[in-house]
Amino acid sequence: MNRQKRIIAINDISCFGKCSLTAAIPILSAAGIETCVLPTAVLSSHTGFSGYTFRDLTDDLLMEAEHWKSLGLTFDGIYTGYLASKRQVSCVEKIMELLPSEFVLVDPVMGDNGRLYDGFDESFAKEMKRLLQKADIIVPNVTEAAFLTDVPFESGTHSQDYIETMIEKLKPVCRGQIVLTGIHSGPQKVGTAVWDGVRLEIIETEKIDVFYSGTGDVFASALAAAVMLGKDTKKAAEIAAEYVIDCILKTRKTSGDRSYGVNFELCTKELLAALGLLS
């Protein structure tokens, strides 16, 4: 009998704010994927709020993975997000060796809008490159890609030449496929570039002039779910992009504070339909 698909999600728990594991767990679980978590840190809220508490869980990561190994557990995928330190990058490398899986997706969370998040520097980007070498799919945004490749970050509209240059510079950084998010492809369009190992394609969606926290985690979680269920990378990226747009549009009608994140729960039915899970 075939067992349920099982993935390890390595990310932080932001107790409020609909991001990281509080987005990954419900999205992957709704897709029928058993989601086993290795929390990298616990925060009272995501870092967009002032005064948040933070507890580092580096010392627990490898012990938890070793316990799973002792139980004889096997996993079909690993999905990594926010890693709090260079030491955690090394821990995750060891976990990938300890618990090998068929599929590894790395979201190299470290920055946005042309700058690194608080607590990160360029030396962290260099460490992250080691982890990207173990990934089948990487999901950087344009800012993260700029720090990983030393290609200068450009705001405004991104030309085809700029996107192609970024992808070419990313290819040696990872062993697998590339999903580059946060592309501004026109006045009313945003894009996601997908390099599947053979060709580069740009997925364009409607630009919505509003920013919500956590949409990168929602996108990466939906992408991971789609790939785990057998979709190719381009189709998975299309599903994830449309899901994020649906979430933003519905949230805009019901919620005022954008720091609270998107109401992705309201769009679960549409995601499951796109994944082919509804009859």
Domains in the chain, number: 1
- What's the CA gap between 177 and 211, in Å, rounded? 27
Q: Residue 148: which CATH number?
A: 3.40.1190.20
DSSP state of 207: -
Is the pLDDT score of 62 beyond 90? yes
Is the pLDDT score of 170 beyond 70? yes
70 assigned to some structural domain: yes
223 assigned to some structural domain: yes
Summarised one tens digit per residue, pLDDT across range 5-15 is: 999 999 999 99
257 assigned to some structural domain: yes
pLDDT confidence of 255, banded at 50, 70, 90? low
Q: At what angle do helices 233-254 and 215-228 cross, to 10 degrees?
A: 140
247 assigned to some structural domain: yes
177 assigned to some structural domain: yes
The answer to whether residues 205 and 168 touch, using CB atoms and an 8 Å cutoff, is no
43 assigned to some structural domain: yes
54 assigned to some structural domain: yes
118 assigned to some structural domain: yes
Summarised one tens digit per residue, pLDDT across range 76-120 is: 999 999 999 999 999 999 999 999 999 999 999 999 999 999 889
Sorted by sequence, the CB contacts under 8 Å of residue 261 that are 6+ apart come out as 17, 18, 19, 23, 46, 212, 213, 214, 215, 251
DSSP state of 266: G
Write down the mean pLDDT value for the chain: 95
Summarised one tens digit per residue, pLDDT across range 177-197 is: 999 999 998 778 899 999 999
pLDDT value at residue 3? 85
pLDDT value at residue 253? 87
Furthest-apart CA atoms within the chain: distance in Å:
54
For 251, the domain range is 6-268
